[in-house]
Amino acid sequence: MNKHLLNIPIVYKYGTKWSAFLPALPLYLLGRYIADLSYLFCRSARTNVKKNLRLVFPDISQKKLSFIAKNLFRNYSRYLIDYCRFTNLNKRSILDQITYYEGKQNLELALQMNKGLLLLTAHLGNWELGGIFFGSYGIKTNVLTLPDENPEIGNIRSWYREIFNVKTITIDKSPFSSIEMVKALSNNELIAMLIDRYDEKTDGIIVDFFKKPTQFPRGPLILSRLTGAPIVVAFVVKEKNTYTGVIKGPFIVTHEKEEYETMKNIVNILEEYINMYPDQWYNFTQV
């Protein structure tokens, strides 16, 4: 079982509906209990998480690795509870959860180019909260996703984003998603995408990720080269009971020969923040 026990349709469906009527603390305690069950019984997910963490920390003991992995499952349950609770809050209340943002000047520099914006991130922290933050800047935001392996969860996530005026663009085999992306950038909109879980059926670029040759999507590099859109790398991570945002960049690809070096710089940033927040790297698929 690759999924956390909380990551099932019924939890999304009723969690988003009823979480506003329950105090946060009991929800977190319940989530922690289910997370511990997930860690115990979801063998495949636990194994994948540990293999990913072993890339980050090749020399730590198995005991320490297991400690980080178990905390990751618990933190993921808190992320999902926050995810559900935020649907019942207004945008201002949600943005108040982000008490500090590092690199706002990087965002402002990128926006001054008026070429749209490509935002790359990882399954680190609360990536959905990041989309709400950028929407608060008055930027029309689009989230790029692969078809969810569970269509019901995919529909719930799309609905969740629409509450905060965040549009979902689903990548499929048709050319229309690419046309939609180019159109969004030409309208000076933002396109956000997760790049640490890659579909190898599409065009990729191989870069060392924690010293392991790993494929990453080439698409954002091509889009930057063709449209002039800058690329930023951003995360929203949990700090005790609040969130901190980070924005790095911008990067611009002007020639095909710059693609590898740009992706290398982007991956270095991913490594830096995954290393800082390993128990918030919710990638349950082996890299």
* Mean pLDDT, rounded, for 228-251: 93
Report the alpha-carbon distance of residue 181 to residue 220 in Å, rounded.
Answer: 10
Asked if pLDDT for residue 257 goes beyond 90, the answer is yes
Is the same domain home to 110 and 196? yes
Asked if pLDDT for residue 255 goes beyond 90, the answer is yes
Is the same domain home to 36 and 148? no
Is the same domain home to 79 and 159? no
Residues shown for the chain? 287
Is the same domain home to 202 and 134? yes
Q: Where are the beta strands (DSSP E) in the chain?
A: 98-102, 117-121, 141-145, 166-170, 190-194, 204-209, 212-217, 231-239, 242-251
Report the alpha-carbon distance of residue 130 to residue 119 in Å, rounded.
Answer: 10
Report the alpha-carbon distance of residue 28 to residue 6 in Å, rounded.
Answer: 12
Is the same domain home to 101 and 62? no
Question: Does residue 1 lie within any of the structural domains?
Answer: no
CA 79 distance to own-chain centroid: 12
Is the same domain home to 18 and 129? no
Question: pLDDT by residue (tens digit) across 116-156?
Answer: 999 999 999 998 777 777 766 678 889 888 766 665 666 66
Asked if pLDDT for residue 3 goes beyond 60, the answer is no
pLDDT of 1 reads 43
Question: Does residue 97 lie within any of the structural domains?
Answer: yes
pLDDT of 237 reads 95
Residues 284 and 2: beta-carbon distance below 8 Å: yes
This prediction's pTM: 0.89
Is the same domain home to 74 and 145? no
> Of 71-75, 76-80, 85-89, which gets the smallest average pLDDT?
85-89
Radius of gyration for the alpha carbons in the chain, expressed in angstroms and rounded: 18
- Final residue of a domain: which of 86, 102, 129? 86
Q: Any bridge partners for residue 212, and if so which?
A: 209
Is the same domain home to 146 and 264? yes
Asked if pLDDT for residue 272 goes beyond 70, the answer is yes
The closest of 287, 202, 217 to 259, measured between CA atoms, is 217
Is the same domain home to 104 and 42? no
Question: Does residue 2 lie within any of the structural domains?
Answer: no
> What is the three-class DSSP state of 209?
strand
Q: What is the dihedral of CA 199, 166, 5, 148, to 10 degrees?
A: -30
Q: What are phi and psi of 252, to 5 degrees?
A: -135, 130
The closest of 230, 31, 213 to 114, measured between CA atoms, is 230
pLDDT of 44 reads 93
Structural domain that includes position 39: 9-86
The residue ranking higher by pLDDT, 197 or 134, is: 197
